[in-house]
A and B are shown apart, each in its own frame.
Chain A
Amino acid sequence: MALLFEAGLLLAGLLLLLRLTPLHAFFRGLPGPHAAVAFVFLFLLFGGQFLLEPKLSYPFLDWSMYSGRDRGPAEWCELTGTDAEGNEVALRPLELMPVFKSMRPQRRLLRLAKRSETRRPRKLLQAWGRCHEDQTGVDLVELRAEVVTQAGPGEPKTRRVIFRVDEIPPQP
Chain B
Amino acid sequence: MKLLHADADAGTLQLIRQGVLALALLVVAGMPAETLTAMPLWAYEPLGPFRLLPAGWWEVILSFPFLVGLRITLAALLTAALLLRPGGWWIAVTMAASWLLVFLLSLPRGFADFSHPELSLAILLLALPWFALADRLQARCGRPSPPAHTLVPLTLLFLLTYVLPGVRRVFSMGAELFNPEHTWAWMTQHLHEAGALGPFDAAWLDASPLVRWSLAAGFPFITLLELLAPLALVSRPFRLVFLVAMLAFHAGSILLYRLYFLENMALLVLLLIAWGQGSARRKPQPAAAR
Given the complex, which residues of A lie within 8 Å of B49, measured CB to CB? 58
Known: A20-B1, A31-B143. A120 touches B43 (CB 8 A): yes
**Per-residue CB proximity of B157-171 to A under 8 Å, as 1/0?**
100110111011101
Kindly state whether residue B131 has any CB partner on chain A within 8 Å.
yes
Q: 5 A-B Cβ contacts within 8 A?
A: A45-B123, A56-B51, A59-B105, A108-B112, A124-B43
A107 close to chain B: CB less than 8 A:
yes
> B102: which A residues are within 8 A, CB to CB?
58-59
The answer on a CB contact under 8 Å between B157 and A22 is: no
Closest to B46 in A: A55
B269 interface contact, C-beta 8 A = no
Whether the pair A41, B123 counts as a contact (CB closer than 8 A) is yes
Q: Does A82 contact B (CB under 8 A)?
A: no
**A9 to B32, Cβ gap below 8 A?**
no
Check A10/B163 contact, CB under 8 A, given A64-B168, A102-B117: yes
- A31-52 residues at the B interface, CB under 8 angstroms: 31, 33-34, 36-38, 40-42, 45, 49
Q: How large is the interface on A (under 10, 10 to 19, 20 to 34, 35 or more residues)?
A: 35 or more
A115 at the interface (CB under 8 A from B): no
Q: A33 with B137: in contact, given A22-B1, A49-B164, A99-B31 (CB under 8 Å)?
A: yes
Q: Is B48 within 8 A of A56, CB to CB?
A: yes
Q: Which A89-109 residues sit within 8 Å CB-CB of chain B?
A: 90, 92-95, 97-108
Interface code B85-112, partner A: CB below 8 Å = 1, 0 otherwise? Answer: 0000000000000000010011011011
Q: Which of B11-19, B74-82, B184-192, B203-211 participates in binding chain A? A: B184-192
Q: How far is the CA of A94 from the CA of B111 in the complex (A)?
A: 13
Q: Is there an interface contact between B127 and A37, defined as CB atoms closer than 8 Å?
A: yes
Q: For the complex, what is the distance from the CA of A54 to the CA of B50, rounded to whole Å?
A: 13
Q: Nearest Cβ distance between residue A1 and chain B, in whole angstroms?
A: 11
| Complex interface: chain B residues within 8 A of A13 (CB) | 163, 167
Please give, as numbers and ranges, the residues of chain A lying within 8 Å of B123 by CB-CB distance. Answer: 41, 45, 59-60
Q: Are A34 and B172 in contact (CB under 8 A)?
A: no
Say yes or no for B246: interface residue by CB 8 A criterion: no
What count of chain B residues pass the 8 Å CB interface test?
Answer: 82
Q: B234 touching A20 by the CB < 8 A rule?
A: yes
Please tell me if the beta carbons of A61 and B176 are within 8 angstroms of each other in the complex: no
Interface residues of A (CB under 8 A from B): 2, 5-6, 9-10, 13-14, 17, 20-23, 26, 30-31, 33-34, 36-38, 40-42, 45, 49, 54-69, 71, 74, 76-78, 90, 92-95, 97-108, 120, 123-124, 127-128, 130-131
For A127, the chain B residues whose CB sits under 8 A away are 38-40, 43
The residues of A that contact B153 with a CB separation of less than 8 Å are 30, 34, 37-38, 41
5 more A-B contacts (CB under 8 A) besides A45-B157, A104-B112? A22-B234, A37-B153, A42-B160, A58-B47, A63-B164
Q: Are A31 and B134 in contact (CB under 8 A)?
A: yes
Given contacts A68-B182, A103-B115, contact A120 B42 (CB under 8 A): yes
Closest 6 CB pairs of A and B: A58-B48, A33-B134, A103-B112, A105-B112, A38-B153, A58-B47
